[in-house]
């Protein structure tokens, strides 16, 4: 194996010094165009490739940024990562990826690894399990850009991009009301997670706003899964709901399947709406009404927040910039009531 070619080699060939070569390669203004072309041609000729480790070690900038997600297996996160990478890449940054698997310990390890790798910033979505936030505070302490997406924590005063889950719950419920449904049930989540609680609040407030009393009997608490959707629906059936707003699409799908098994007409007898617009939602029968979360946009906005933060000197001095994306109602067949 031939030794790696460095700027020293280029300098030697050209009878100049490494500083000139370095500057030429970095398009420094104080270098003559002639020297630049000379250096670049020689670099190409020698098949030179910069060692970013050395460059970063010296300059203090890596142009790497860490992305911490619960799991790449979930389409939601893959989609957000896609959006982030696209924007960041256009701005010369590269991505280090770490999965927490929803585990606190893994999340901490991820942050430490990123910090040791001297990333220029971190974009993260907090694991369900996480109750202690010292690892995130450490990032702030090092004055490195930190941005949260989807799962944030307002006490940390960190920029974030989330969607308005409250509004999502509200418009989902409102849509059902406008379709003429009145006994609207909600399948929520047992876990005390902010996004689920917000959707629940939105549900309740929409009912109130339209003069419908909130009936706790019509609220079931599942564990965010298709199976749980089926079980909760079975329980709810005795309460005679005429519509179900499920906390997310898998739960909604479970509800849909249970109703079909029970011979209940959807949306004629009971309407259904979910949340998240999973990839299957538009393809099931009847197609599932749901709330779109704008995942790619979320990623793009998170990346922009990062870039903004990276430019600022006093990063965490003022109140953090928090972007709240609007949820979008996708009214499909499962909640479209036939004209009475």
Partner DNA sequence: GTGAAAGCGCTAACAG
Partner DNA sequence: CTGTTAGCGCTTTCAC
Q: Exposure string (b/e) for 228-263, b if CB count within 10 Å is 16 or more? A: bbbbbbbebbeeebbbbbbbbbbbbbbbbbbbeeee
Question: Residue 186 is encoded by which pair of tokens?
Answer: 């909600």
Q: Is 300 in the site for a copy of itself (CB under 8 A)?
A: no
C-alpha separations of 70 from 100, 105, 126, 200, 232 in Å? 5, 12, 7, 23, 26
Applying the rule CB under 8 A, the residues between 122 and 181 that interact with a copy of itself are 142-143
Q: Is 17 in the site for DNA (CB under 7 A)?
A: yes
Q: Is 115 in the site for a copy of itself (CB under 8 A)?
A: yes
CB of 7 to DNA, least distance (A): 4
| Binding partner selected for residue 278 from a copy of itself, DNA, none, CB under the kind-specific 5 to 8 Å limit | a copy of itself
Q: Is 50 in the site for a copy of itself (CB under 8 A)?
A: yes
| Binding partner selected for residue 89 from a copy of itself, DNA, none, CB under the kind-specific 5 to 8 Å limit | a copy of itself
Q: Is 6 in the site for DNA (CB under 7 A)?
A: yes
Q: Which helix (H) or strand (E) holds 206?
A: helix 194-209
Q: Which stretch binds a copy of itself (CB under 8 A): 13-21, 92-100, 227-235, 261-269?
A: 92-100
Q: Is 61 in the site for a copy of itself (CB under 8 A)?
A: no
Q: Measured in Å, how far apart are the chain's first and last C-alpha atoms?
A: 79
Q: Are strands 290-292 and 271-273 parallel, antiparallel or unpaired?
A: unpaired
Q: Is 117 in the site for DNA (CB under 7 A)?
A: no
What value does the CA radius of gyration of the chain take, rounded to a whole number of Å?
Answer: 26
CB atoms within 10 A of CB 334: 27
Question: Residue 130 is encoded by which pair of tokens?
Answer: 């996480």
Q: Is 264 in the site for a copy of itself (CB under 8 A)?
A: no
CB of 260 to a copy of itself, least distance (A): 8
User: x/- contact string, 72-91, with a copy of itself (CB under 8 A)?
Assistant: xxxx-xxx-xx--xx--x--
Q: Is 198 in the site for a copy of itself (CB under 8 A)?
A: no
Place of tokens 């005390």: 192
Evaluate whether 84 touches 37 at the Cβ level (below 8 Å): no
State the Cα–Cα distance between residues 165 and 41, nearest whole angstrom: 55
Q: Is 33 in the site for a copy of itself (CB under 8 A)?
A: no
Q: Exposure string (b/e) for 175-184, b if CB count within 10 Å is 16 or more? A: bbbebebebb
User: Which DSSP string corresponds to 109-152?
Assistant: HHHHHHHHTT-S-EEE---TT----HHHHHHHHTT--EEEESS-
- CA-wise closest residue to 240 among 262, 222, 221, 224: 262
Q: Which stretch binds DNA (CB under 7 A): 46-54, 125-133, 160-168, 300-308?
A: 46-54
Please select the residue that binds DNA; options are 1, 27, 34, 313, rule is CB under 7 A: 34
Evaluate whether 150 touches 83 at the Cβ level (below 8 Å): no
Of the pair 202, 267, the CB lying nearest a copy of itself is at 267
Q: Is 94 in the site for a copy of itself (CB under 8 A)?
A: yes
Count residues near a copy of itself (CB under 8 A). 49
Q: Is 112 in the site for a copy of itself (CB under 8 A)?
A: yes
Helix 104-116 to helix 134-141 angle (10° resolution) is 20
State the Cα–Cα distance between residues 222 and 213, nearest whole angstrom: 22
Backbone angles phi, psi at 300, to 5 degrees: -65, -45
User: x/- contact string, 311-340, with a copy of itself (CB under 8 A)?
Assistant: ------------------------------
Applying the rule CB under 7 A, the residues between 55 and 114 that interact with DNA are 55, 57-59
Judged by the rule CB under 8 A, the positions of this chain that interact with a copy of itself are 1, 49-54, 56-57, 62, 64, 67, 71-75, 77-79, 81-82, 85-86, 89, 94-99, 112-113, 115-118, 142-143, 253, 260, 278-281, 283-285, 296
Judged by the rule CB under 7 A, the positions of this chain that interact with DNA are 4, 6-8, 15-20, 22-23, 25-26, 28-35, 48, 50-51, 54-55, 57-59
């Amino acid at each position: 194996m031939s030794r790696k070619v460095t700027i020293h080699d280029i300098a030697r060939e050209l009878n100049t010094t490494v500083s000139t070569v370095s500057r030429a390669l970095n398009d420094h203004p104080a270098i003559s165009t002639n020297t630049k072309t000379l250096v670049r041609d020689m670099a190409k000729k020698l098949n030179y490739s910069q060692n970013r480790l050395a460059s970063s070690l010296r300059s203090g900038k890596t142009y790497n940024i860490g992305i911490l997600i619960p799991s790449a297996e979930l389409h939601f996160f893959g989609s957000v990562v896609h959006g982030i990478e696209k924007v960041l890449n256009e701005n010369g940054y590269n991505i280090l990826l770490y999965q927490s698997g929803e585990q606190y310990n893994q999340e901490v390890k991820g942050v430490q690894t990123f910090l040791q790798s001297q990333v220029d910033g971190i974009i993260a979505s907090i694991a369900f399990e996480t109750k202690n936030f010292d690892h995130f505070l450490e990032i702030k302490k090092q004055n490195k850009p930190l941005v949260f997406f989807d799962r944030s924590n307002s006490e940390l005063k960190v920029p974030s991009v989330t969607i308005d889950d409250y509004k999502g719950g509200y418009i989902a419920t409102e849509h059902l009301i406008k379709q003429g449904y009145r006994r609207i049930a909600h399948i929520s989540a047992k876990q005390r997670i902010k996004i689920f609680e917000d959707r629940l609040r939105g549900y309740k407030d929409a009912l109130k706003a339209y003069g419908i009393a909130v009936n706790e009997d019509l609220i079931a608490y599942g564990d965010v899964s298709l199976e749980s959707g089926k079980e909760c629906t079975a329980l709810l059936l005795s309460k005679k709901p005429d519509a179900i707003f499920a906390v997310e699409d898998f739960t909604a799908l479970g509800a849909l399947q249970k109703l079909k098994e029970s011979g209940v007409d959807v949306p004629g007898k009971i309407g259904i709406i979910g949340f998240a617009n999973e990839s299957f939602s538009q393809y099931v029968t009847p197609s599932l009404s749901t709330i779109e979360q704008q995942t790619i946009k979320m990623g793009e906005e998170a990346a922009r927040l990062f870039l903004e933060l990276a430019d600022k000197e006093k990063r965490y001095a003022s109140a953090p910039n928090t972007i709240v994306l609007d949820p979008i109602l996708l009214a499909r067949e499962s909640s479209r009531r036939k004209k009475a």
